[in-house]
Amino acid sequence: MILAGQRTPGPLLVLDGWLGRVQLFSDGRRQILSFLLPGDVIQDAHTFQPVAPSTITALCDAVLCPAPPAEEEGLREAYAASAALDEIHLLRQIARLGRMSAYERIQDWLSEAHERLSLAGRAGPESFPMPLTQEMLADALGLTSVHVNRTLQAMRRDGVLEWRGGAVRLRQTGTSMVPRGRPLPESAIPALRKALLAG
Binding site for DNA (CB under 7 A): 101-103, 133-135, 142-147, 149-153, 165
Distance CA 142, CA 97 (A): 7
Nearest of 162, 195, 197, 198 to residue 70 by alpha carbon: 195
- Whole-angstrom distance, CA of residue 188 vs CA of residue 169: 27
Q: Which does 24 bind (CB under 5 to 8 A by kind): a copy of itself, DNA, none?
A: a copy of itself
Q: Which of a copy of itself, DNA, none has residue 134 at its interface (CB below 5 to 8 Å by kind)?
A: DNA
Q: Which is nearer to DNA, 34 or 151 (CB)?
A: 151
CB of 151 to a copy of itself, least distance (A): 16
* Smallest distance from a copy of itself to CB 130, Å: 20
Binding partner of residue 54 among DNA, a copy of itself, none, CB under 5 to 8 Å per kind?
a copy of itself
Residue 71 site contact among a copy of itself, DNA, none (CB < 5 to 8 Å, cut-off depends on kind): none
In sequence order, the β-bridge partners of residue 58 are 19
Minimum Å distance from CB 89 to a copy of itself? Answer: 10
Residues sharing a CB contact under 8 Å with residue 43, sequence separation 6 or more, in sequence order = 11, 83
Cβ proximity to DNA: between 67 and 136 the closer is 136
Select 118 or 149, whichever has its Cβ closest to DNA: 149
Amino acid making up residue 142: G
Contact call for residues 166 and 131 (beta carbons, < 8 A): yes
Single-letter amino acid code for the residue at 105: R
Specify the DSSP class assigned to residue 15. E
Report the interhelical angle of 145-157 vs 102-119 (nearest 10°).
Answer: 80
d(CA 31, CA 137): 10
Across the beta sheet with 19-24, the strand order is 30-36, 19-24, 55-58
Binding site for a copy of itself (CB under 8 A): 21, 23-27, 29-31, 33-34, 45, 49-54, 84, 87-88, 90-95, 97-99, 139-142, 177-185
CB of 151 vs DNA, minimal distance in Å: 7
> 6 vs 175, which CB is nearer to a copy of itself?
175
- Cβ pair 67, 196 in contact under 8 A: yes
- Pick what 150 binds: DNA, a copy of itself, none; C-beta below 5 to 8 Å, kind-dependent: DNA
5 makes contact, choosing from a copy of itself, DNA, none, with CB < 5 to 8 Å by partner type, with none
